[in-house]
Amino acid sequence: MLRFRASIFKEILLLIRDRSGLAILFFMPVALVTIMALVQDAPFRDYQELNIPALLLNQDEGAFGEQILARFDSSRMFDILEITGDEQALKKKIADGTYDIGIVIPPGVSDYILAQSNGYAEQMMRDLGMPVLPSELPGIDSTKQVGIFFKPGVKQSFRQAVLQAIRQESSQLETATLIRSFKTILGAEDDGEQASDFGNFVAFRERPVGDEWLEARQTNSVQHNVPAWTMFGMFFIVISLAGSIIREREEGSYLRILTMPGSYLTVLLGKMTAYLGVCLIQCALMLGVGVFFLPLLGLPALDMQGMTFLNLALVATSCGLAAVGFGVLTGTICQTHQQASTFGSVSVVILAALGGIWVPVYVMPAVIQSIAEWSPLFWGLNAFQHVFLGNGQFQPIAAYLLYLQLFFLCCVGISLLINRARQQA
Amino acid sequence: MCNSGRSRVQQAENDQGVNPTEALIDIQSLRKEYPGLALPAVRDVSLSIQEGEIFGLLGPNGAGKTTTLSILCGLKNPTSGHLAISGFGYAGDRQVIQRLIGVVPQEIALFPKLTAWENLRFFGNMFGLTGAVLKARAFELLDQFGLAEFRDKQIGTFSGGMKRRVNLIAGILHHPRILFLDEPTVGVDVQSRNMILNLLRGLNQQGMTILYTSHHMEEAADLCTRIAIIDHGTIIITGHPADLIRQHQVPNLEHLFLNLTGRNLRDEC
Ligand SMILES: Nc1ncnc2c1ncn2[C@@H]1O[C@H](COP(=O)(O)OP(=O)(O)OP(=O)(O)O)[C@@H](O)[C@H]1O
Ligand SMILES: [Mg+2]
């Protein structure tokens, strides 16, 4: 126990003495989290709340124009600016590139819909043999088409989505109008209900295949980036830990310790404990940035609603152990600082890429996905997400914790074997 | 100095007889091959060192001194051969041996970012020393080595001679029965060297058996009760320095050394 305590104490002293190294260990990940969350804010919004700048030229004076406007206003998809003037003016603005889409609702569309639905209703009644005062079914009027104009270069998928949204609104209004026409003909009182839910008998379950749970919840840049770069930052201690191991080997204190009674593992455990402490402080710092600092920059705060302290502590410790184990292995395998910093940084970047730190794993090709599931950063990131957004259960993170801890044990085990082999060589 | 050491050994030999199995350090036919090295670094080295000796292992660069010492310290396993320290072997009694020995490596095996006292505290703790006992012992040694006022300064700021002295203190904090030193006086000035050698004599007088390596013939002749000259991994000659000089009719040990090991440079290895 004395040797263990002495090793922790020595390591802490060494860490504190290396001010710049320590500053890098803490400052770099914090900068990384902040910058990444800011940089990826826009791309994430693409999928979430677009606020696409849109123009609306509403020449209709009835319900249709109003409803389209209300609908787009309330959705976070569009940032609608209503303009007056004519179609040419609107087209010109779209062509300028300031606005992505422009919608033109021609005059009298509402009346047209009403006339159409009245006509259909009467015709149907007549077909059923009901006595109805004859009225004319107006023909299709091409001047009543809703015009939708897109900025050049707008993606086809996006155009489809916008068209779909307007079509849906239009058909709901048509259905509601039709029902009202029937009611009028049948002499029922118009209670003013829009029957807007009409037509939604069939509901849809929309779910991505894969880690649907996660994808559905990674609602913004902060929610993805904070845990992702926290993992990445924690793994970057690999370089300084490996450096410390190599330095002690070069300086000879490692050999001196080997000539002393007791197992080297005790000393190594002390070193690992100190570095684990660094990892945990890094983690706390970066989560703190997510919760308190990023909102100051206009980003959403990190959502940790599902968190229990115990789960967070378990995940953070397991991730830290995995990082520390990898650092020990790197320091053991690599002969020089040069090797360690190159191998350490490249391997951490590869593990991070595979782990879904940059690009979510579910958009990767199938082959890569199956490899990705072996990255400790993948386990760590998923475990963090489950802790933040789950409902406090332990079960979803259990497997990840196990993998991370096994990874740690393997790394340390292999390192000890390598050390032993070297000594015997 | 040399004579007093020899008389002590003679006394020990009279007391114990010259039975090599009674030797404190006993190595027989030690051989060490490194992968990738055409010749073994150590081949057929046999030594037997009695309690109370100061034994010098002398040889040119690459002769196999550090390798032999590393095997004695348990840092390397011999390819073949037998080793016993106080009758114990590393295979079964590693911890027992480690409690008997102190090691002063060739390089400055200290933490440069820690102060002298922090280094000594750490290594003292490794030996199970703590608290006031450790502090008293470390401060006493720092004082003896003229480092009292530097104990709270980082090793990285020390001169070469000061580092060597702290390097030595770290190996003797726990009062080992046997002390292995690998070139403890390399790169130090005359003053530091004198201080180190005097301290080694003092420790020896307190009963510590010392095995040390060096390139300094005069120093070894002055300090050691016995020496061995090793070259190309083989011991060429063993004996009391004065006896060897007399037997070979040379003015000093350096002449003997050059006669035995040749005048060629040893950088080729
Ligand atoms: N780890 C190793 N791997 C391969 N060869 C080694 C290793 N250590 C030493 N050697 C070789 O073994 C031989 C003996 O080296 P050793 O360090 O024991 O010599 P030495 O007598 O201590 O030399 P010096 O006076 O320069 O310290 C040398 O040829 C050296 O190159
Ligand atoms: Mg050497």
**Chain A interface includes B107 (CB < 8 A):** yes
In angstroms, what is the span from residue B122 Cα to ligand 2's centroid? 25
Residue B170 Cα, gap to closest chain A Cα (Å): 9
Chain B residues lying within 8 Å of A259, measured CB to CB: 73-75, 98, 101, 103
From B73, which residue of chain A is nearest by alpha-carbon distance? A259
Domains identified in chain A and CATH numbers: 2-43+220-424 (no CATH), 48-212 (3.40.1710)
Q: pLDDT at position B15, please?
A: 40
CATH of the domain at B35: 3.40.50.300
Residue B135 Cα, gap to closest chain A Cα (Å): 14
Q: What is the pLDDT of residues B142-160, one digit of tens each?
A: 999 999 999 999 999 999 8
User: What's the domain range around B54?
Assistant: 3-261
B101: which chain A residues are within 8 Å (Cβ-Cβ)? 259
Instruction: Supply the pLDDT for residue B9.
Output: 42
If pLDDT is split at 50, 70 and 90, which confidence band does B6 have? very low
Q: Which of B74, B109, B111 sits opposite A14 (nearest CB)?
A: B111
pLDDT of res. B188: 86
Nearest Cβ partner of B75 from A17, A253, A259?
A259
Distance from CA of A329 to the nearest CA of B (A): 21
In a domain, B267, yes or no: no
Split into its structural domains, chain B has a count of 1
Encode pLDDT of B73-97 as tens digits: 999 999 999 999 999 988 888 989 9
Distance between CA atoms of residues A293 and A289, nearest Å: 5
pLDDT at A46: 53
Tell me which chain A residue has its CA closest to the CA of residue B154. A17
Q: Does residue B152 lie in a domain region?
A: yes
Which residues have CB less than 5 Å away from ligand 2 (the ion)? B 66, 106
Q: Who among B103, B108, B113 is closest to A18 (CB)?
A: B113
pLDDT score for A197: 47
CB pair distance less than 8 Å for A258 and B74: yes
- Which residues in chain B have Cβ-Cβ distances shorter than 8 Å to A252? 105-109
Q: Classify residue B173: in a domain, yes or no.
A: yes
CA distance A257 to chain B (A): 8
Instruction: Give the span between the Cα atoms of B66 and B269, in whole angstroms.
Output: 14
Whether the CB-CB separation of B119 and B110 falls below 8 Å is answered with yes
B249 is a domain residue: yes
User: pLDDT tens digits, residue range B130-144?
Assistant: 999 999 999 999 999
- Ligand 2 center to residue B85 CA distance, Å? 21
Of A290, A220, A225, A292, which is closest to residue A76 (Cα–Cα)? A220
Indicate whether this model's pTM tops 0.80. no
pLDDT at B221: 87
Q: Which of B75, B113, B123 sits opposite A17 (nearest CB)?
A: B113
| B102 in any annotated domain | yes
Residues with Cβ < 8 Å from B120, sequence gap 6 or more?
A: B134, B138, B141, B142, B166, B169, B170, B173
Q: Closest residue of A to B95, CA-based?
A: A261
CA of B111 to the centre of ligand 2 (A): 21
Give the up-direction half-sphere exposure of residue B81: CA atoms within 13 A in the CB hemisphere.
24
Mean pLDDT of chain B: 87
Rounded to two decimals, the ipTM of the complex is: 0.86
Mutate which of B39, B42, B61, B67 for ligand 1? The one with the most ligand atoms within 8 Å of its CB, which is: B67
Does residue B45 sit within a domain? yes
Interface check for A14 against chain B (CB to CB < 8 A): the answer is yes
Task: State percent of chain B over pLDDT 90.
Answer: 62
Ligand 1, pocket residues at CB < 6 Å: B 34, 37, 41, 59, 61-67, 106, 269
**pLDDT surpassing 50 at residue B2:** no
Q: How far apart are CA B248 and CA B255, in angstroms?
A: 10
Contact A252 B75 (CB under 8 A): no
Question: In this structure, are residues A397 and A387 in contact, taking their beta carbons and an 8 Å threshold?
Answer: yes
Q: Is B29 helix (H, G, I), strand (E, B) or coil?
A: strand
In tens digits, chain A (425 residues) has pLDDT values of 899 999 999 999 999 998 888 888 899 889 988 998 888 776 666 545 566 778 888 888 888 888 878 877 776 677 788 888 888 888 888 888 778 888 888 888 888 888 888 888 888 877 887 766 666 666 677 777 888 888 777 777 677 877 887 888 788 888 888 888 888 877 776 555 554 445 556 666 655 455 555 555 556 778 888 899 999 999 989 999 999 999 999 999 999 999 999 889 999 999 999 999 999 999 999 999 999 999 898 888 888 877 889 999 999 999 999 999 999 999 999 999 999 999 999 999 999 999 988 877 777 888 888 898 899 999 999 899 888 887 778 888 899 999 999 999 999 999 999 998 888 77
Q: Is A3 on the interface with B (CB under 8 A)?
A: yes
A10 touches chain B (CB under 8 A): yes
Taking CB atoms and an 8 Å cutoff, what residues of chain A touch B110?
251, 253
Instruction: Kindly report the nearest CA distance between residue B25 and chain A, in angstroms.
Output: 16
Residue B116 lies in a domain: yes
On whether residue B60 sits in a domain, the answer given is yes
